[in-house]
């Protein structure tokens, strides 16, 4: 019984090309109580492997978080399988605005402690006691209300390339960092302000909405289905689009363009740019923003040192990496010291003060 992917990314890419099938990029999540995560994980892997599903799926006792791709011809079969699982019946599937057959090259279904790492150890916190979900139309109305504080629940490198107008965009590297920061700065407004949140597909702000209700906030709202669902509703219902720039996504595409605005800058030369890349040096892989000119000049690398290493024969690179851990720069997400035009770290409290 095969319970793990046994093909390399290169081998899978070759099979995708040979098959010639159009694939849909999909994401979904559901908070629910899963008692035997290992059995559930194995069941999902076996079923989805038959449907040619590829992607990154996390299973925990609090629910499931899935980002995947599936051949378009297998979509109905995949959806029917989800509907056989009680808590996933009619779950909302966020279908990407732009598709890429190579968005995912392996099927990875992993058991985790939580589907969204939050750093919380509070048994009285009920993640299913969530805030009010609002559609795109109501969201647009709420964020124009002067009594509303709009908060981006994503990380700094996501909001850097795109966000909603007038949103507070916390300078954080992880979701767990933002929870306490936001609560502390808005603690005087738990009853008199609308706290409206959004994220990519809804999973982070759903947990955040439950958390802030747990902490005493009275008027908590979240954008249903996140940015992905918002864009679809704006297009289908002819609504005003209030999102500027690009939506960061966690697959090989890295982003989807929502508006023509380019609100970020190349971290190497400072020119307008909003395309993230991973440094080509296998020992680095720093995520940063790089324009086409710097990409060509630097050969997809973040520094001249990485470029020199990347030019070495593969075996020499491998020998240099032997016994070495990942560079700490990989965790800086565009904030490495050697990037001259990286985004400045600003004080989130100043931003909140101006908003409220």
**Token pair 């409290």 is at which residue?**
349
181's tokens: 């920061």
Q: Which long-range contacts (CB under 8 A, 24 or more apart) does 74-80 make?
A: 75/24, 77/51, 78/48, 78/51, 78/53
55's tokens: 């992607």
Whether residue 85 contacts residue 40, with contact meaning beta carbons closer than 8 Å, is answered with no
Exposure string (b/e) for 147-183, b if CB count within 10 Å is 16 or more?
ebbbbbbbbbbbbbbbbbeebbbbbbeebebbbeebb
Pairing mode of beta strands 162-164, 243-248: antiparallel
End-to-end Cα spacing for the chain = 57
Radius of gyration of the chain (CA): 21
- C-alpha torsion 152→155→159→164, nearest 10: -10
- Among 180, 155, 194, 183, smallest CA distance to 335 is for 155
Rounded distance between C-alpha atoms, residue 79 and residue 74, angstroms:
9
Say how far residue 263 (Cα) sits from the centre of its chain.
Answer: 19
47 CB contacts (<8 Å, ≥6 apart)?
81
- Residues annotated as catalytic are 199
Q: What's the half-sphere exposure (Cβ side, CA atoms, 13 Å) at 134? A: 22
Q: At what angle do helices 37-50 and 75-83 cross, to 10 degrees?
A: 150
- Among 289, 203, 206, 208, smallest CA distance to 246 is for 289
């Amino acid at each position: 019984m095969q319970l793990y992917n046994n093909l390399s990314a290169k081998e899978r890419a070759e099979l995708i090309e040979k098959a010639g099938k159009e694939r849909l990029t999909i994401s979904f999540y559901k908070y629910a109580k899963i008692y035997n995560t290992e059995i559930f994980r194995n069941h999902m892997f076996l079923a989805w492997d038959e449907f040619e599903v590829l992607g990154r799926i996390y299973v925990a006792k609090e629910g499931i978080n899935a980002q995947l791709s599936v051949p378009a011809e297998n979509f109905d079969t995949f959806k029917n399988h989800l509907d056989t699982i009680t808590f996933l019946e009619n779950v909302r599937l966020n279908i990407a605005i732009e598709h890429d057959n190579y968005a995912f090259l392996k099927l990875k279904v992993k058991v985790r402690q939580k589907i969204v790492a939050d750093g919380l150890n509070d048994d009285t916190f009920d993640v299913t006691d969530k805030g009010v979900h609002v559609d795109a139309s109501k969201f647009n109305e709420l964020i124009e209300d002067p009594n509303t504080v709009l908060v981006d629940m994503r990380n700094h490198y996501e909001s850097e390339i795109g966000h909603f107008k007038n949103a507070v965009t916390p300078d954080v590297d992880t979701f767990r960092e933002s929870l306490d920061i936001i609560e502390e700065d808005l603690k005087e407004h738990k009853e008199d302000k609308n706290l409206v949140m959004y994220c990519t597909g809804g999973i982070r702000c759903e947990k955040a909405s439950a958390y802030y209700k747990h902490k005493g906030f009275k008027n908590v709202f979240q954008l249903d289905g996140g940015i992905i669902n918002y864009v679809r509703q704006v297009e289908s219902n002819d609504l005003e689009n209030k999102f500027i720039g690009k939506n960061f996504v966690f697959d090989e595409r890295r982003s989807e363009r929502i508006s023509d605005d380019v609100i970020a800058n190349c971290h190497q030369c400072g020119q307008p740019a909003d395309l993230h890349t991973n440094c080509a040096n296998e020992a680095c892989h720093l995520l940063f923003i790089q324009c086409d000119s710097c990409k060509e000049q630097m050969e997809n690398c973040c520094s001249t040192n990485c470029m020199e290493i990347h030019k070495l024969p593969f075996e020499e690179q491998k020998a240099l990496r032997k016994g070495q851990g990942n560079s700490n720069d990989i965790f800086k997400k565009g904030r490495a010291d050697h990037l001259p035009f990286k985004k400045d770290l600003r004080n989130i409290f100043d931003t909140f003060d101006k908003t409220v």
